[in-house]
Structure 1
Amino acid sequence: MKNEMMHRPVVKKELVDYMRSKQKPLTGKLGELERDANRRGVPVIPHETVVFMQFLLGQLQPKQILEIGAAIGFSSSLMAQFVGTDGHVTTIDRYDVMIKEAKETYVRLELEDKITLLEGQANEILPTLTGPYDFIFMDSAKSKYIEFLPECLRLLKKGGVLMVDDVFQGGTILDPIEEIPRKNRAIHRKLNEFLDVVTEHPQLTSTLLPLGDGVLLVTKEAEEILL
């Protein structure tokens, strides 16, 4: 469950510490979940990303949210706070241990009616969904981002936001591939391909933020996007 990239911030450690300690903490059961995950080294989104997501969703006020990568259910529980009484969060995960813990999280936070967890491979589940979604959060296998992108763009409404986590590969995304450990080279290559496609596409607007291990925000400017 641990992720080595969590401990390789892409900005100065002092600034990371400042962002994580000075911004408002989560309260209640959700705050307890975040603190417990951090103690255990579970790879949930870091607090600076939490605060940014709260701000962003507060402005967007999405009703339908899709998440790829439920993990222990923390980020989907956070997002569920912003969909209102008639909104919903749909999330996908394939790991049994994560699915079990996510379900326990939703019961603990009394969110069973606000979140639907789809169990299985995202590349098999995404084509079965119809959307449209106002907001999509992708935080799963980094080498699969380029594979999931066409379906995410199909499901995202025009003007909606796709938020992608962990795109800087521990700050090594621009390093020559020869300097990347062999076990990480496929991720490195496919993440670079993904970033090139998104940032250069004429019908996509994107921005990169140095939060955690890098956050990418994307909006689409047309109903149908050809990649």
Structure 2
Amino acid sequence: MIVNDRITDYIKSLEPDESPLIYEIGNKARENGVPVIREETAAFLKTMTAAMNPKAILEVGTAVGYSTLLMAEVMAPDCQITTIEKYEKRIPVARQNFEEAGKTECITLLEGDAGELLKGLTGPFDLVFMDAAKGQYLAWLPEILRVMRVGGMLISDNVLQDGDIIESRYAVERRNRTIHARMREYLYELKHSDHLVTTIVPIGDGMTVSIRR
């Protein structure tokens, strides 16, 4: 864990109950090994969404729609979410979850590779949530910046890789070395880009919050 387990448990204990449907979606996903955001991360995402009061949200990585619905819970009634998912088996589950939540009118689910789909978007988006293939974050960044408005917020999840990000590449399992190297490059770019002001938040598996200049 990046943060002391006792602190994380205490933070979780303070959280009010989620809606029964969203709780069930998140719980079932975690039981089945579906990569959804952690509970403490969920609260952070909701808070940032409420703070931005966006009119248009872009999410890269829908999975089963858990984080999508978390944002939909706190956004304005006229806000629209565009969310992208490549993994075919999860797409019908996400669509069903959106329908059960009564959010189909405000959520557009795009099926396919994010690298290709991003090229067809025009934006502008007020809030972008990146939570998909970590090794592709850096490759997607130019298109993300293109569709973000000035003053918009980019939130990226899973950036500290359970703390492995601070290790040398040779201390990381061989199968994870490419992702490790790419994430380090991504974090460096976020912190040194002339187009972004970025902070790294050690919550959950690590998040970044970047504001488009």
Same fold (TM over 0.5): yes
SS at the partner of 1:173? helix
Deviates more, 1:44-53 or 1:22-31: 22-31
Q: Distance in 2 between matches of 1:33 and 1:75?
A: 10
What are structure 1's unaligned runs of at least 5 residues? Answer: 1-8, 222-227
Give the match for residue 70 of structure 1: 62
Contact 1:62 1:82 in 2 (8 A): no
Equivalences for residues 1-227 of structure 1 within 5 A? 9-221=1-213
Deviates more, 1:204-213 or 1:40-49: 40-49
Instruction: Provide Cα deviations, 1:39-87, integer angstroms capped at 9, x if missing partner.
Output: 3343211111111122221121111000000001111111122332221
CA deviation after TM superposition for structure 1 residue 100, in Å:
1.6
Instruction: Provide Cα deviations, 1:100-148, integer angstroms capped at 9, x if missing partner.
Output: 2111111111111111100000000001000000000000000000001
TM-score (norm 2): 0.96
Q: Distance in 1 between matches of 2:132 and 2:121?
A: 18
CA deviation after TM superposition for structure 1 residue 202, in Å:
3.0
What are structure 2's unaligned runs of at least 5 residues? Answer: none
TM-score (norm 1): 0.90
Give the match for residue 6 of structure 1: none
Q: Distance in 1 between matches of 2:168 and 2:18?
A: 39
Q: Distance in 1 between matches of 2:6 and 2:42?
A: 18
| Alignment: residue pair count | 213
Equivalent AA in structure 1 for residue 135 of structure 2? S
Equivalent AA in structure 1 for residue 167 of structure 2? D
Equivalent AA in structure 1 for residue 2 of structure 2? V
CA deviation after TM superposition for structure 1 residue 211, in Å:
1.1
Deviates more, 1:30-39 or 1:113-122: 30-39
Structure 1 runs (4+) greater than 3 angstroms displaced? 38-41
Q: Distance in 2 between matches of 1:202 and 1:121?
A: 28
Q: Distance in 2 between matches of 1:71 and 1:161?
A: 21
Equivalent AA in structure 2 for residue 71 of structure 1? A
Contact 2:50 2:75 in 1 (8 A): no
Contact 2:63 2:85 in 1 (8 A): yes
Q: Distance in 2 between matches of 1:153 and 1:23?
A: 33
Q: Distance in 1 between matches of 2:161 and 2:72?
A: 28
Equivalent AA in structure 2 for residue 97 of structure 1? K
Q: Distance in 1 between matches of 2:105 and 2:95?
A: 12
SS at the partner of 2:105? coil
